[in-house]
């Protein structure tokens, strides 16, 4: 089973709202990722958690705040977003030595 | 600068033909190589990975790796209209094995 789940599937928010994206995997993977993807572009790495510790932050603006409550869960807290932050937000988890990553279905975010 | 390059396409093949997708990478130290399929509006799906020189086959898909020439390819035999998607090549960064370096993707259209 290589399932990563994400909620919600769609999210519309105003620029003053606070919302959270959630990601869950039960495959025992110890690395989890947040990506942002715009249309016709590859995924753009935002954050990596390894063994529940933040190991990579790709200079993401502070209006995005990640959290890893335990080895199965990953959250992305959103606050004061801009319309240009509208995108598909993808969560992924990494399996083994080869580094293969498995993606969840994504959250389609629209910021008005 | 570490790069992964793909022809953007669209690559158009008739149903039943072999589709050949190519990817070149710049960092000779790269170790693991991945092909993801992404349907429009969906998340990337891992279809193949390879880390040894030569061919790796899985059903209708064959990944080919040539480290001396720094390219990796994906062959899809007996192409079906359902194979129409964007194919993303990704390479594990030798400098940081938690990161993937992504190509821009090749759009494949399989015509009935």
pLDDT in tens, A57-104: 999 999 999 999 999 999 999 999 999 999 999 999 997 667 899 999
Q: How far is B52 from chain A (nearest CA, A)?
A: 11
pLDDT band at A25 (very low <50, low <70, confident <90, very high): very high
pLDDT of residue A95: 79
Of the candidates A48, A100, A104, which has its C-beta nearest B46's C-beta? A100
pLDDT of residue A2: 64
pLDDT of residue B1: 61
Which chain B residue has the Cα nearest residue A98? B32
pLDDT of residue B2: 66
Q: Is the pLDDT of residue A1 over 60?
A: no
Q: A102, B97: Cβ pair inside 8 Å? A: no
Distance between CA atoms of B61 and A51, rounded to whole angstroms? 33
pLDDT of residue B93: 82
Q: How far is B110 from chain A (nearest CA, A)?
A: 19
Q: What is the DSSP letter of B18?
A: P
pLDDT of residue A9: 97
pLDDT of residue A52: 93
How many Cβ atoms sit within 10 Å of the Cβ of residue B22?
17
Beta strands in B1-112 (DSSP E): 4-6, 11-14, 19-25, 33-38, 45-50, 54-58, 61-66, 71-76, 85-92, 100-102, 106-111
Of the candidates B90, B98, B104, which has its C-beta nearest A55's C-beta? B98
pLDDT of residue B108: 97
CA within 13 Å, CB half, A33: 23
Q: Which residues of chain B are modeled with pLDDT < 70?
A: 1-2
pLDDT of residue B88: 98
């Amino acid at each position: 089973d290589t399932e990563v789940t994400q909620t919600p599937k769609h999210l519309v928010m105003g620029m003053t709202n606070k919302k959270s994206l959630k990601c869950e995997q039960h495959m025992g993977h110890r690395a989890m990722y947040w990506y942002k993807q715009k249309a016709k572009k590859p995924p753009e790495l935002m954050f990596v958690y390894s063994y529940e510790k933040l190991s990579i932050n790709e200079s993401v603006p502070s209006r995005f705040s990640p959290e890893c409550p335990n080895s199965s869960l990953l959250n992305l807290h959103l606050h004061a977003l801009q319309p240009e932050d509208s995108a598909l937000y993808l969560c992924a988890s990494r399996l083994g030595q080869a580094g293969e990553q498995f993606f969840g279905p994504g959250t389609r975010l629209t910021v008005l | 600068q570490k790069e992964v390059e793909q022809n953007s396409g669209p690559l158009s093949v008739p149903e039943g033909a072999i589709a050949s997708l190519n990817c070149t990478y710049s960092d000779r130290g790269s170790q693991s190589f991945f092909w993801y399929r992404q349907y429009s509006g969906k998340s990337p799906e891992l279809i193949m990975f390879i880390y040894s020189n030569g061919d790796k086959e899985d059903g209708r898909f064959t990944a080919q790796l040539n480290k001396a020439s720094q390219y990796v390819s994906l062959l899809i035999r007996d192409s079906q209209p359902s194979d129409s998607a964007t194919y993303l090549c990704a390479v594990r960064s030798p400098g940081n094995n938690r990161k993937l370096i992504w190509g821009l993707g090749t759009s494949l259209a399989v015509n009935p």
